[in-house]
Structure 1
Amino acid sequence: PDVSVSGSGNGSGKGLTAVAAGTVTIGNSDVFAETKLEADQVKNLVDHEVAVVGMGPVVSKNVTVDDLSLEQLKGIFSGQISNWKEVGGDDATIVVLNRKAGSGTRATFEAAVFGDEAVDFKGDAELDKSGDVQTQMGSTDNAISYLDFSHFDDSKFNAIKVEGVEPKSANVTDDSFKIWATEHMYCAKDADEATKAFLEFMLSDDVQGKLVEEQGFIPVSAMKVVKDASGKVSAK
């Protein structure tokens, strides 16, 4: 009763930077802290893997394409493919909506599509948050972007297949669908008791057994594979 919890959605980079600086008690992130922070900052943090999130490409309602290969996604998000007719759609210029640098969703999508290849990854617009992508996708024709499964909204846009595989949680658990990330909650090693208690609650049966799936995420216990900080996937 004497504890209040407040949060804000600003992207994984800001979450990690803030918890490392001590301006927040918990920093949420779609990516491992090692990919965003210096080693001396990471050593003072404790990682709690609380869920897994699937992410995938979404297209405007007027787009007829419902399946893209990773190679086609690479072409679109690098600017080499600029018209929907090049991937089996109508003759229309592709509008690419990207997330800003620092976004964990962007980092996960970029790693899945481009791997270690250095590519100029940008779009016609770069948006701050997933909610901004939802809004923009709902009001823009011929557009493509990417979102985590929890932000899919088939009343505004269409989530599409990748390599013929549907973007569903069941396909993430065995890595059939390749675009996914572990959801982290980082705290300081010397976190106070309220912070520790909140993180224990996040890993409790009440959250893992019910709330995680209700919010569109995947319980860690459901995964048949794991992913390390380098992005390598291995059997659990």
Structure 2
Amino acid sequence: MDRDMLNLVLAGVGVLVPLLAFFWEFVVARRKRLGYRVQMDTMAPDDIGLGHTGILQQIQQDTGITLEHPSFVLVRIENDGVIPIDETDYQVLTDIKTGVRIRFPGRRVAGMMITELSHPKLQRNFAEHSGLSRSEETSIDHEVTGIIDLPRVPLNRNDHYKVLVVLDQIGPRANPTFEAGIKAGIAKESKAQTGLPKRAVIIGAFMTAIIVVLGLSIALRKDAQPPPVDCASGRLSLVGSTAFEPVMRDAAAHYAKTCTAASFDFDFQGSSSGLERLNANGTKAPMISFSDGTKGQNQPMLIQRPISFLVFALVAHKDAGVRDLDIEQIRRVYAGEVTNWKDLGGNDVPVTIVSRKPGSGTRNTFQNQILQGKREPATNSDNCTTRDPGGDQGVLRCERDTSSQLLDTVARTKGAIGYAELGEAKNRQRDLSLVSISKQDAVIQAAISGDYPFWETEYAYTYDRPVAESITASFLRYLTTQVGKDVIRSHEDASCDELPKPVLCKPVK
């Protein structure tokens, strides 16, 4: 590379650094961003335009006392990023309804109202008991601060709402302050935008021109480009848990798109089957086995690494008519003590139990977390609709090899119940029902806090420790990067380092 080309590259790098930082924030990292700003904060003077104030002179508190020094504040709350913000994304405890708190030092809140909604659907978030309230606090110096609490409002991209607050100044006035937090994101003051400044357009055009020149110069180079940092070449086999299969197929596709010299084979047939295959394979070929839970005692060469925190869900055929079961009811169903859903408040439909086969990590999780370690009884049907000759009497029971097969069977079998990984189950809500446990829906935050019992740690196993430069080690590291975490999160699971106990990858309780 000659000096002119080196100068061009250095200039391009200098321009690309801030551009890449922008793309990392808004395109790759894609953090959730809650924005807030004060659009108006004005007093109502008693000597200007007095003859036209009209009803403004008569504004009163709830007690009937006229406001002495009224002021008006208009606040805008908005999704300032590209990722939707859900009500569970606010950084508060699950039983706290407040998502945003605004303080008005030196002023008492006389009233407030929601004045603008970007979409009518947001209106239901401000109903009674939603968390919308006003209050005040008094310091030891007798200084009063008015407070309004706003609910944890779900906001899609570009959604916003506005709040008009009427206050009465009773002490030294200060600017409003905001208290809010977003998990895996930020809450900060946003700025009004009325179009791109001319300077930004010029800089953008200049940067684009440099990037184009740099790209052409690189394209004309005859020597091949090196692979991205931490990429490895080779072929890697991924085996094990069918519950974790969709996550790993997605992650492998992202890795192969970046690291083009890498390729993958998939053979997910269950956690136990994957561990046995890895143990038999030894060091013959690169392989990782994923398991819902830990390995057995007879595989000492298999090294485990916690990768993800998985949530599972109960699923039922829609005709069963059940939406919630407590732990004891679930145990009675799987013990064969309940033969018709009407006995548990559902429809008059016989119960059919669809399970995973022995050796499934999902089945082991269900038995350990829900059935107190008891094994599910033996099956008496192959097709899940008729009893096999010689099969035990009672509830029909059948088994399936994979999570997707189980979901298919539950969806087409009246009265059927089963279980699967949450991400896969949610994708099938059009043709089956998710059943909450003891009034608690299957959501990741509830499982992390210990309020939802059906979860498991997902482990990645290798035969001995892989060489640092190998495709095995590279892919394991990739799963802990921001992109890898985003893939895991997109399937309704959580990366272990997002938990309060990341090393153990287990809930708080």
- TM bin (shorter chain): 0.7 to 0.9
Using the TM superposition, give the Cα deviation of residue 224 of structure 1 relative to its aligned residue in structure 2, in angstroms.
3.4
1:75-94 superposed matches below 5 A: 75-94=332-351
> Which segments of 5 or more consecutive residues in structure 1 lack a partner in the other structure?
none
RMSD value, Cα: 2.2
Residue 268 (structure 2) pairs with residue 13 (structure 1) = no
Deviation at 1:223, TM superposition (A): 2.3
Q: Tell me the amino acid that sits aligned with residue 215 of structure 1.
A: H
The superposition leaves residues 182-210 of structure 1 with CA deviations (integer Å, 9 ceiling, x where unpaired) of 111100114341111111111222111x1
Q: Residues 59 and 143 of structure 1 are in contact (CA less than 8 Å); yes or no, is this contact kept in structure 2?
A: yes
Greater shift after overlay, 184-193 or 153-162? 184-193
2:431 counterpart of 1:156: yes
1:107 maps to 2:369: no
Q: Distance in 2 between matches of 1:235 and 1:175?
A: 6
Q: Cα offset for 1:83?
A: 1.1
Q: Which has the higher contact order (CA 8 A, sep 6+)?
A: 1
Corresponding residue of 1:181:
456
Q: Aligned match of 1:134 in 380, 401, 407?
A: 407
Distance in 1 between residues matched to 2:363 and 2:378, nearest whole Å: 10
Give yes or no for contact 1:169–1:218 (8 Å, CA) kept in 2: yes
Q: Aligned partners of 2:454 and 2:502: how far apart in 1?
A: 13
Unaligned 5+ segments in structure 2 are: 1-259, 380-395
Count the aligned residue pairs.
Answer: 227
Aligned residue identity for 2:261? D
Query: Which of 306, 331, 351 is the equivalent residue of 1:74?
Result: 331
Q: Give the alignment's TM-score, normalised by structure 1.
A: 0.88
Distance 1:91 1:167, change over 3 A: same
1:199 and 1:113 map into 2 onto residues whose CA distance is 31
Could you tell me how far apart the structure 2 residues matched to 1:234 and 1:179 are?
A: 11
1-structure distance, mates of 2:375, 2:502? 25
Higher strand share: 2
- Aligned 8 A contact 1:47 1:185 in 2: yes
**Residue 216 (str. 1) matches residue 473 (str. 2):** no
Moved more, 68-77 or 116-125: 116-125
SS of 1:56's equivalent? strand
SS at match of 1:172: helix
Matches within 5 A, 1:29-40: 29-34=291-296, 37-38=297-298
Query: Are the equivalent residues in 2 in contact too, given 1:175–1:225 (CA < 8 A)?
Result: no
Q: Secondary structure of 1:14's match?
A: helix
TM-score, normalising length: structure 2: 0.42
Deviation at 1:227, TM superposition (A): 9.9
CA distance in 2, matches of 1:145, 1:198: 32
What is the aligned partner in structure 2 of residue 144 from structure 1?
A: 417
Shift of 1:91: 2.1
1:220, distance to aligned residue in structure 2 (A): 1.3
Matched, 1:28 2:290: yes
Whether the aligned pair in 2 keeps the contact of 1:226 and 1:234 (CA below 8 Å) is: no
201, 207, 221: which one aligns with 2:478: 201
Q: Is the 8 A contact 1:84 1:91 kept in 2?
A: yes
Q: Distance in 2 between matches of 1:138 and 1:118?
A: 24
Deviations 1:134-181 (A, max 9, x none): 211221111111111011111110111101111111211111100100
The sequence identity of aligned pairs, in percent, is 22
The 5 Å alignment of 1:118-133 reads 120=377, 122=379, 124-133=397-406
Equivalent in the alignment of 1:52:
309
Match of 1:171 among 446, 450, 462: 446
Q: Secondary structure at the match of 2:404?
A: helix
Report if the CA contact (8 A) 1:68-1:162 is conserved.
yes
Partners of 1:222 and 1:63 lie apart in 2 by 36
